[in-house]
Amino acid sequence: MWGKRITQLLVLSVFAAALTLSGCKKGKDSDNAADEKREPPPPSGTMSLQGMYTYMADAGIFMDCATREQWPVAHEADNATLEREYLKAKIAPGAPLLVTVEGGLDLRPKVDGRGKVTTLIVGRFVRTWPRETCGGMGPITLEDTTWALLELNGKTITVTVKDKAPYLELNSKKASAYGFGGCNRFFGSYETSGRSLTFGAMGATRMACPDGMDQEQELFTVLGSTTRYEIHGSKLMLFADKVLVARLEARAPSE
């Protein structure tokens, strides 16, 4: 009697195991089928994006600073404004320009018409950032870094000749500050402790330039008013107490 009972239990166990294996296999096949039939992801919704934009041969490409992903830009919505502002920047054709836009991602047909590709739809152009980049350099320190001047008192610095770009350097070994104001080379002292930063009176060469003298003098005034600094990524912010007076960006030695 017990022998018969044990035999029945073994048969039931084998049958249950077979059902389990069958179910697992069916589930796996079903998942694969679902993956094959799965719809593409929905549009991403509107978001603020900052990245390097290039435009050439009626085609725009956007590289997102945060993710380093690249997307073609659709010829719709506020794309015309983005293209127009890129051309107004007067940079070399196909050169990258840092821009801020509001928009989202969606699928659009590829240029060759075969399939679809994730594409940036620019809902609203915000602004360009001439001479700025996404950064991407290694750890950046206040001292012993070349800082290219980007803004003074909220005004964008424009440079028509590359070797005339204003910059600032702080030499930690000599405790000296020096740089180029756009017309003259300048030099002086600085002191820093924690986030505080102050500059001594600046000396400078005495070249006379047809353009840029007022901007250069404003730079000297800003340095004289600086009390502290902040570094965000590749950007250096100079403050006079709570007021942002200058923005600069770290440059690689080759730049």
pLDDT tens-place string over residues 2-22: 444 434 434 344 434 443 444
DSSP 8-state symbol, 113: S
Q: Which CATH number covers residue 58?
A: 2.40.50.540
Domain of residue 150, residue span: 146-251
Find tokens 């239990």 and name the residue.
Answer: 9
| DSSP H helices in 143-249 | 213-225
Whole-number pLDDT of residue 205: 93
Q: For residue 203, give the 3-state DSSP assignment.
A: strand
pLDDT tens-place string over residues 148-181: 998 999 888 877 665 678 999 999 998 899 999 9
- Asked if residue 115 is part of any domain, the answer here is yes
pLDDT tens-place string over residues 209-254: 887 788 899 999 999 999 999 988 788 999 999 999 999 988 765 4
| Average pLDDT score over the chain | 80
Residue 32 has pLDDT above 50, yes or no: no
Q: What are the φ/ψ torsions at residue 20 (nearest 5 degrees)?
A: -60, -45
- Asked if residue 40 is part of any domain, the answer here is no
Residue 122 has pLDDT above 90, yes or no: yes
Q: Which residue has the higher pLDDT, 200 or 5?
A: 200
Q: Which residues does 121 contact at the CB level (< 8 Å), separation at least 6?
A: 43, 74, 76, 77, 103, 104, 105, 106
Residue 178 contacts residue 202 (beta carbons within 8 Å): no
Q: Which CATH number covers residue 168?
A: 2.40.128.270
DSSP 8-state symbol, 244: E
In whole angstroms, what is the distance from residue 205 CA to residue 214 CA?
15
pTM for the whole structure: 0.57
The number of folded domains in the chain is: 2
